[in-house]
Structure 1
Amino acid sequence: MYMAEDNYNSVLNNTPGQNVTSVIGNETTPTTEYILIAIKSTAMILIMLGAIFGNILVVTAVIKFERLRSAITNYFIVSLAFADFLVSIMVMPFSASIEISGKWMFGRTMCDVFNSNDVLFSTASILHLCCISMDRYIAIIHPFKYQSKMTHFRVYVMIAVTWISSILISYIPIQSHWYTTSDTLQEMADRPDECLFVVNRAYAVVSSSISFWIPCTIMVFVYLKIYMEARRQEKQIKQSGFHVKELSPSEQTNLTDDQTEKRNERKRMRREHKAAKTLGIIMGAFVFCFLPFFSWYLVTSLCGDACPNPQVLSSAVFWLGYFNSCLNPIIYAYFNRDFRSAFRKLLNLTKLLGNSYSDHSGVVLTAGNFENRDHSVQVQSKNSCRNGNTKSDL
């Protein structure tokens, strides 16, 4: 994310060299101030630990289980989790230190690195989500062309472009000091205990557009198209008079090849729709977390001191954005069956729930033995014939 000048107005408007921010250990600090610092510190630590643990869990699950590795979409999810993990270890601790101590303690060079990382990882996150939305668009709108369009090479190129674009909008202008004014540079030289990130209007418009507004607009449009297509396909299936329902073993044996193909297609569509719904929730969570920040960032950068900006507001929008880094793993665990199963095994929850975890479609998924998507349909059909259960979790 980006820092704006208003974050530090309370300091800049006072005598040079005097830090008026409440410091831990000051005997004049009221008891309520200690309580607020304790609450803020606890909340920030929980967000950091949640982001670290959750995103490591996502990456480990995809590396360990073949079923997750076989899905092209999960390549983007791993890269996104990596970006969120870097936020939690390379951005959040520095921001938390500013919130608690009221000053910057790591020198001018690290200040530029911190600001660059903040912009880099927030931009990478939303560009990854934009890639994911395009992947789901092709899977839903053009399912028969998906394998030819979303090849491994193209996915690698998209991920590389995402990271390179994020670097170009962050490290190059910040390290070159193109993003700010000469007055701000002098201000930073005079105040080494302050890490300011005061942007000029041109950089505010360009950076926020590339990092948020344009990708967010694309994603909203794409997910609207996905939603309309999903509804159309569901209506088409209902009109055809064929529905996925519980069948006895004898009924499944009597299915014709055409009926079996229709059932498999129906299951595929439901699986894709559930994946699109999950990723739509991820995108919605991201917009919820970052829309307040980017709105605040653009408005305060364009109108300057004319816009009132309480310190509590700037802190709230910053950490609401950081909170997104630990939300995605929670969404995966709750809405995505494959990730839910993998997380259970990695956390050894299967010992509490039984030796094996069976998903709701009759496929027993064991650790390290996930089948690919096509083979899982065959296994599901065989298992269903044996136990008479074809219920799908999707």
Structure 2
Amino acid sequence: LLLVFSIPGNLFLVSLALADLVVALYPYPLVLVAIFQDGWAQGEVHCKASAFVMGLSVIGSVFNITAIAINRYCYICHSLAYHRLCRRWHTPLYICLVWLLTLAALVPNFFVGSLEYDPRIYSCTFVQTASARYTGAVVAVHFLLPMAVVCFCYLRIWVLVLRARRKVKSDNKLCPRSSNVRSFLSMFVVFVIFAVCWAPLNCIGLAVAVNPEAVAPQVPEGLFVASYYLAYFNSCLNAIIYGLLNQNFRREFQKIISALWNPRRCMQDSSKGSQAEGPESQALPEVSAQRPVGADTL
């Protein structure tokens, strides 16, 4: 945990994890209750609140993924400027800005009246037919624009990685560190899966925004429900992606599970380890992310 918070870039991952977690704590249980009761019986307040939290999670995930891509782009492609723009105390400010933008993006829902119960998906959510202009703005600002920024960042990173590999082979140098490549790949896969899961629903929203009265009745209910639950399912996938592609994540997750299963043994092991290592081991090692990154070190 100390290592997570000692590396500024990792704070963005914590923020993304919170965005995925918040939707499972409040809206999803209410959706399950509505499914079992075949209707919404929790009242108007819970309906608006759950829809707001759902939007907070969705837009927060989009903006956090965008912030992670920009952070990785600056770190790899503009490493000298990165250490001026992303100091340790800067990162919490950037994360606060991400969540402030998320809140600002949700405020118009209350003026448009677009947070309502949809019986097709047993959820209180954003209604695409409430306002054609606002639906178009939601798709553009909350999906198309962030995805364009993320694509630009990762394409530039890929170009630099390929150039570095060709240079390494031509100069007979060591290959790029596999840990750096896996870390980049894990976040790239997170972005790709997010785009795949949310693209169908946003395509429907974009079509509805063009002509709500003509298009909305023509959208098959099965297609809408499938696209919506595919978007819901995205919140469950990030942890699986981290577990498959990140060895450190798997190792630390196993430690957390073992600590929860047998906390006394975990405390004994940690106390023995601290006594054996001595006081000098309490200082965290210098993280390589704090040094400028060139093409040869990718």
Q: Report the TM-score when normalising by structure 2.
A: 0.78
- Of 72, 86, 99, 1:150 maps to 86
- Note closer, same or farther for the CA distance 1:195–1:138 as it changes in structure 2 (3 Å cut): closer
Residue number in structure 2 paired with 1:17: none
Larger radius of gyration: 1
Is 1:84 aligned to residue 20 of structure 2? yes
SS for the counterpart of 2:89 is helix
Indicate yes or no: 2:135 matched with 1:227: no
The number of residue pairs the alignment matches comes to 264
Distance in 2 of aligned mates of 1:85 and 1:370: 31
3-state SS of paired residue (2:112): coil
Distance in 1, Cα, partners of 2:137 & 2:230: 22
- Distance in 1, matches of 2:30 and 2:206, equals 23
Measure how far apart 1:375 and its partner are.
Answer: 7.8
CA displacement at 1:179 relative to structure 2 = 4.6
Distance 1:372 1:339, change over 3 A: farther
Partners of 1:293 and 1:317 within 8 A in 2: yes
Amino-acid identity (%): 23
Larger proportion of helix: 2
1:87 Cα offset (Å): 0.7
The equivalent residue for 1:53 is none
**Cα offset for 1:174?**
2.5
Instruction: Indicate the residue corresponding to 1:313 in structure 2.
Output: 223
Distance (Å, rounded) in 2 between the aligned partners of 1:97 and 1:314: 21
RMSD: 3.1
> Match of 1:4?
none
* Gap change, CA 1:335 and 1:303, over 3 Å in 2: same
User: CA–CA distance in 1 between the matches of 2:193 and 2:226?
Assistant: 16
Q: What residue is the counterpart of 1:174 in the other structure?
A: 109
Counterpart amino acid of residue 87 in structure 1: V
Aligned position for 2:136: 205
Of 211, 219, 222, the residue aligned with 1:303 is 211
Q: Which runs of 5+ in 2 are unaligned?
A: 270-280, 290-297
Counterpart code for 1:69: F
Paired residue secondary structure (1:348): helix
Q: What's 2:251 paired with?
A: 341
Map Cα deviations across residues 231-278 of structure 1 (whole Å, 9 max, x no partner): 11111111111225xxxxxxxxxxxxxxxxxxxxx54xx443332111
Q: Residues 301 and 372 from structure 1, CA distance in 2 versus in 1: closer, same or farther, beyond 3 angstroms? A: farther
Aligned partner letter, 1:339: F
For residues 132 and 273 of structure 1, what CA distance do their matches in structure 2 show?
Answer: 15
Q: Secondary structure at the match of 1:152?
A: coil
Q: Would you say the 8 A contact 1:67–1:372 is kept in 2?
A: no
TM-score, structure 1 normalization: 0.60
Larger RCO, structure (CA 8 Å, separation 6 or more):
1
